[in-house]
Structure 1
Amino acid sequence: MDNIRYASSIRAELRASHAGETGAVWIYRGILLVNRIKRDSDIDTFAQHHLATEKDHLVQFENLIHRFRGSALLVIWIFAGFMMGALSMMLGKNWVYYTIYQVESFVDVHYRQQINTLSKLEFLDKTDIIKMMEACNADEQAHRDEALKEMKNEPHFMMRIWGKLVATGSHYAVVLAKLL
């Protein structure tokens, strides 16, 4: 019975990470689409660099997808990521950096929780998967720190509300991706 439960929980964790990396790719695509109009070279460099990293993370999870089914809600994570990126870029550079800071702060905690949970289980390629997650998390922490460094102004009231929405939405996205 424990093997079935563990197998299910491992698949749920991988599905949530795959969904999250998919959403992350689309956040940067949303930013870059709106930036075609705004033409901010700093944002372009920032988003292109982070997009490349997120695509690499996504490929790593897609190489494992034979062990789990992807989220049935993947199209929603794509749409939500794209809209989050596009909307933050429409609102301005500081909103982009704050959004990335909020997302990556959530992702850091989530990856650490996943690594802790998976470390307690026995499964095929456990060491390789945990090392992959640790490397992805290190990248996400660097993205978080870079976004914070790039913020020119303290987040005002509306940005803080946005940040809470981003964090809460990220939390519920993980819950749903694990299930569906």
Structure 2
Amino acid sequence: MSAVIEPGIASYSEYLEQELRSDHAGETGAVYIYKGIIAIATLFKNQELICFAKEHGATEAEHLRLIEAVFEEKYRSRLLGPWRIAGWLTGAIPALFGRKAVYATIDAVETFVEQHYQGQINHLKIHRGYEQLLDLLVRCQADEINHKNEARSKASPSLPLALRAWCAMVGSGSAVAVLLARRI
């Protein structure tokens, strides 16, 4: 039925296949969020954002590589093109408005991702047998929490209404993307 993971485990359950499909799509989108930030920050010569995005983008690229190592290509989302575009725009649009908008956006994205991974971690703790996958998800989640905390520490404590609305849209968009990626 599904992708091979650990030695001795033939396949993932349908649930895990869908979740890993969404993780792969999400990490693909995350790589492109930082590419979008870098593109705009480079135009504006914003070295702080370029460094932030390069560092975080490298972590997301590593997450993508790790997930690709345990999740066969034939099971991945067929919507990777749109995920790349959506990710790039999710990074580029706030970068047009400056650092505070970027940091608030990353806080919103990573808050969603932290919760998304936590659901999978909880599932794996109950349904034992995927210890390497559990370790991978815990590792990725810890990195995402660090990204969230760093971004939150750099964002303004009170956000303007338009930025709060953008961040709510980013969170909702992430939830819709997960639903789609699980299926397609």
TM-score for both structures, normalised by structure 2: 0.90
Which runs of at least 4 in structure 1 moved beyond 3 Å after TM superposition? none
Instruction: Give 5+ residue unaligned stretches, structure 1.
Output: 1-5
How far has the Cα of 1:67 moved from its partner? 7.8
> Deviations for 1:91-135, whole angstroms, at most 9, x for unmatched residues?
211110000000000000110011112333355xx1000101000
- Aligned pair partner of 2:146 in 142, 145, 149: 142
Instruction: Give 5+ residue unaligned stretches, structure 2.
Output: 1-11
| Aligned residue number for residue 83 of structure 1 | 89
The answer on whether the counterparts of 1:10 and 1:118 sit within 8 Å (CA) in structure 2 is no
How far has the Cα of 1:152 moved from its partner? 3.8
> Deviations for 1:10-64, whole angstroms, at most 9, x for unmatched residues?
1101111001100000000000011111111111111111001000000001111
> Deviations for 1:122-152, whole angstroms, at most 9, x for unmatched residues?
55xx100010100000000000000011114
Q: Distance in 1 between matches of 2:69 and 2:161?
A: 41
Residue 33 of structure 1 aligns with an amino acid whose one-letter code is A
RMSD of aligned C-alpha atoms? 1.4
Change (3 A) 1:170 1:38: same
The answer to whether 1:160 aligns with 2:164 is yes
Q: Map 1:51-70; keep pairs closer than 5 Å.
A: 51-66=57-72, 69-70=75-76
| Aligned residue number for residue 110 of structure 1 | 116
| Aligned residue number for residue 71 of structure 1 | 77
Q: Distance in 1 between matches of 2:136 and 2:157?
A: 34
The answer to whether 1:177 aligns with 2:154 is no
Q: Distance in 1 between matches of 2:168 and 2:122?
A: 25
TM-score for both structures, normalised by structure 1: 0.92
How far has the Cα of 1:8 moved from its partner? 1.1
User: Is the helix fraction higher in 1 or 2?
Assistant: 1
Q: Paired residues, what number?
A: 173
